Amino acid sequence: MRNAYGVESVRAAEREVMARGPEGALMRRAAAGLAAECAQLLGKVYGARIALLVGSGDNGGDALYAGAKLAGRGAGVTAVLLAPERTHAGGLAALRAAGGTVVDGSEDRAEGVVARARLVVDGIVGIGGRGGLRERAARLVAAVAGDALVVAVDVPSGVDADTGEVHGEAVRADVTVTFGAYKPGLLIDPGREYAGAVRLVDIGLELASGERVLEALQYADVAGLLPRPSGESDKYRRGVVGVVAGSARYPGAAVLCVAGALRGGAGAVRYVGPAADAVIARFPETLVSAGPPSKAGRVQAWVVGPGLGDDGERLRDVVAADVPVLIDADGLRLAGEREVRARRAPTLLTPHAGEAAALLGVSREEVESARLSAVRELAGRYGATVLLKGSTTLVASGEGPVRVNPTGTPWLATAGSGDVLSGLAGSLLAAGLDARDAGAVGAYLHGLAARHASSGGPVAAQDVADAIPAAWRDVRRTD
Ligand SMILES: NC(=O)C1=CN([C@@H]2O[C@H](COP(=O)(O)OP(=O)(O)OC[C@H]3O[C@@H](n4cnc5c(N)ncnc54)[C@H](OP(=O)(O)O)[C@@H]3O)[C@@H](O)[C@H]2O)[C@@H](O)CC1
Ligand SMILES: Nc1ncnc2c1ncn2[C@@H]1O[C@H](COP(=O)(O)OP(=O)(O)O)[C@@H](O)[C@H]1O
Ligand SMILES: [K+]
C-alpha cells in the first residue's frame, strides 16, 4: 500500500524527530536527497547551469542546501530570492560558501538567470503554502525554458499539498522530490499532473499508518484481494452478479456491462432487461430473464444503471434488494438520496465528474478541481461508498482513508469504458469483496487492462473488457 499523509501529520512527525535529533538534521537529509535526484537527472553535474527559486520558508532552505551540494560538484548555481530579507540564512550561507551566486528576484536580470538554466529547482513554497503562485513567482516560473528540467521541492509550488487543488498558477515539474511521506496532493489531479514523477526521500519521519488520509493499492494488495475459486467452488458459491442495464435505445451499454461482469470473478452473470437478445448474441453464457429483477432468481450483487434510460421502476426494484448494489450512469440520476441511505446492504455509486456534479448541484469544473472533497461529500450524503471516475479515480467510504487508483491511462476516456468498469466492480461485489475493495480493485484492473489493450494507442471499451484477464494474471504473478 502506498500511503499519503496530511500536512498536520507530517508536521507533528517532524516535531518529534526534531525534539530528539540535532538541529537542522532533517533539512540536511532532505537536501541530500534532493541534490542526489537533481544530479541523476542532469547526468553531468559539472558545468551545468542551475537556477534555484527560493521562497521565504524552509522549502527555500532545502533548495539552497541542495544547491550548495551541486555547486560543490562544479555546477553553476544561482539562487533567485523571492523574499531576500526572509531567506533561510543557513542555506544562503552554505550556497555562498560553495561558490553559488545570488540575485534578487525583483531585479530585471532574474528572469534571464531562470531562462538560461538547464535545471530549475522550485523551492518557492512547500507544505506551508496557501493559494497559487504570487505574481513575482509566477513571472519567474513563466521564464523557465521549454527544454529545462524542473524539479519541485516537496510539493510543486501553488499545489495544495493536502488536496491536490490548484488555485491560480502553479509550477509544472518534471519530478517532485518529496520528504518523509507522500502528500495527497501529489497523487490526486490536478496536483498529480503538476508534480510529474514523484520521488520519496526517507528523512526518518515516523508516521502512524492510522493517520493516512489517502492510500493507493499496489500489485500485492490487489493480488491479496482478488477472489480465487477453490476445489469446492461452484458458480453460486463464486457469486452471481445481476446486471440491469441497457434499453431498446442503448443495447450496447448492456453488452459492455456484461462483458466487464463476466471477467470480474463472479461465477455467473444474470441479465435482466430489454437488451437480452444483443447480450445473448455476444455472450451466450449469460443467464437472461424478463420481468422485474426481484423475480430473476438468485443474485449476490446487482449492477444497475448503464444505458438504463428512464426506467425508474427497475431501478427501484434493485435498490430495494437486500444485497450489495452498484449504481452507475442513468441509475445515479434515478436513485433518490433517501432510498440509498435507507439501504442496509452496501451500496457503491460510480459517477464520473459530470454525474457527481449533478448529484452535488455544482459544476463539473468544481468537481474536477476539488475531487477529494467532492467524493467525500457524496459518500457522506448518500451513506454509501463512492467511486469518482476520471483521471485520478477516487474511492471513498464514510470512514477510513480515501483510495486513489494508480493505474489507468487517458486512453480510457472512451465511450462505454465506464460500463465495463461497473460490470467488473459489480462482479467483484458478488464474489464477496466489500464495496471499497470492489471499487478499488475494479478500478485497478480496469486501468491495467486499458494499458494492456492500448500499449500507447487508442482502445475501444470492448478491448478493455477483453484485456481484463491479462491484467488479472499480471497481478496474480506477483502473488
Ligand atoms: N516537515 C518536514 O518534516 C520537513 C520540512 N522541510 C521543508 O520545509 C517545508 C515547509 O517549510 P515552511 O513551514 O517554512 O513553509 P514553506 O512551505 O517553505 O512556505 C512558507 C512560507 O511561504 C510563504 N507563502 C505561503 N504561500 C505562498 C504562496 N502561495 N506564494 C509564495 N509564498 C507563499 C509564507 O510566507 P508569507 O509571505 O505568507 O508570510 C510562508 O512563510 C517543507 O515543504 C519542506 O520543503 C524539510 O526541510 C525537512 C523536513
Ligand atoms: N483522463 C483520464 N485518465 C484515466 N482514466 C480516465 C480518464 N478519463 C476517463 N477515464 C476513465 O474512463 C472511464 C470512463 O467512464 P465513463 O465516464 O463512465 O464513460 P462511459 O459512460 O462512456 O462508459 C472511467 O473508468 C474513467 O475513470
Ligand atoms: K516547492
Residues 281-309 have pLDDT tens digits of 999 999 999 899 999 999 999 999 999 99
Mutate to test the pocket of ligand 1, among 140, 141, 177, 179 (most ligand atoms within 8 A of CB): 179
- Whether 147 has a binding-site annotation, put simply, is no
User: 181 and 207 share a domain?
Assistant: yes
- Whether 47 has a binding-site annotation, put simply, is no
Sequence-distant (6+) residues with CB within 8 A of 399 are none
Mutate to test the pocket of ligand 2, among 187, 327, 391 (most ligand atoms within 8 A of CB): 391
User: 372 and 411 share a domain?
Assistant: yes
User: 46 and 174 share a domain?
Assistant: yes
Helical segments of 387-416, H only: none
User: 128 and 192 share a domain?
Assistant: yes
User: Which atom of ligand 2 lies closest to the CA of 415?
Assistant: 22
Q: What is the ipTM of this complex?
A: 0.95
Position 358 scores a pLDDT of 98
pLDDT in tens, 348-366: 999 999 999 999 999 999 9
User: 149 and 26 share a domain?
Assistant: yes
- Whether 392 has a binding-site annotation, put simply, is yes
User: 65 and 102 share a domain?
Assistant: yes
Query: Which residues, chain by chain, have CB under 5 Å from ion ligand 3?
Result: 122, 126, 152-153, 157
Determine contact, residues 207/10, Cβ cutoff 8 Å. yes
Which domain CATH number covers 28? 3.40.50.10260
Residues whose beta carbon lies within 6 Å of some atom of ligand 1 = 10-11, 14, 26-27, 30, 55-62, 124-131, 133-134, 137, 153-154, 179-180, 203, 205
- Write phi, then psi, for 273 (nearest 5 degrees): 155, 180
Position 200 scores a pLDDT of 98
How far is it, in rounded angstroms, from Cα 278 to Cα 284?
10
- Amino acid found at 382: Y
Model confidence at 479: pLDDT above 80: no
How far is it, in rounded angstroms, from Cα 183 to Cα 177?
11
Position 28 scores a pLDDT of 96
Kindly list the strands in the beta sheet with 149-153, ordered across the sheet, starting from the edge strand earlier in the chain. Answer: 101-104, 76-81, 49-54, 119-123, 149-153, 175-179, 197-201
Give the mean pLDDT of 371-378: 98
Residue 235 — pLDDT band, cuts 50, 70, 90? confident
Q: Give the distance (Å) from ligand 1 centre to CA of residue 109.
A: 25
How far is it, in rounded angstroms, from Cα 295 to Cα 243?
13
How far is it, in rounded angstroms, from Cα 318 to Cα 314?
6
User: 105 and 243 share a domain?
Assistant: no
Which of the listed residues 192, 216, 240 is the one where a domain comes to its end? 216
Position 477 scores a pLDDT of 86
User: 164 and 254 share a domain?
Assistant: no
Determine contact, residues 429/435, Cβ cutoff 8 Å. yes
The total number of structural domains that make up the chain: 2
Give the mean pLDDT of 214-224: 96
Residue 68 has which C-alpha cell? 550548495
User: 283 and 176 share a domain?
Assistant: no
Position 236 scores a pLDDT of 81
Position 242 scores a pLDDT of 98
How far is it, in rounded angstroms, from Cα 166 to Cα 155?
12
Residue 307 has which C-alpha cell? 444505458
Which of the listed residues 165, 189, 216 is the one where a domain comes to its end? 216
Average per-residue pLDDT for the chain? 96
Position 22 scores a pLDDT of 87
CA 407 vs CA 49, 217, 357, 441: distances in Å: 36, 9, 24, 10
User: 73 and 160 share a domain?
Assistant: yes
User: Which atom of ligand 1 lies closest to the CA of 17?
Assistant: 3
pLDDT in tens, 92-108: 999 999 999 999 999 99
User: 249 and 189 share a domain?
Assistant: no
Determine contact, residues 286/269, Cβ cutoff 8 Å. yes
Which domain CATH number covers 389? 3.40.1190.20
| Residue range of the domain that includes 416 | 219-477
Position 152 scores a pLDDT of 99
pLDDT in tens, 51-94: 999 999 999 999 999 999 999 999 999 999 999 999 999 999 99
Q: Whose CA is nearest to atom 18 of ligand 2?
A: 418
Residue 119 — pLDDT band, cuts 50, 70, 90? very high
User: 212 and 227 share a domain?
Assistant: no
Which of the listed residues 185, 216, 247 is the one where a domain comes to its end? 216
Residue 1 has which C-alpha cell? 500500500
194 SS3 class = helix
State the helix-helix crossing angle for 251-262 and 417-430, rounded to 10 degrees.
Answer: 40
Ligand nearest to the CA of 34: 1
Determine contact, residues 447/405, Cβ cutoff 8 Å. yes
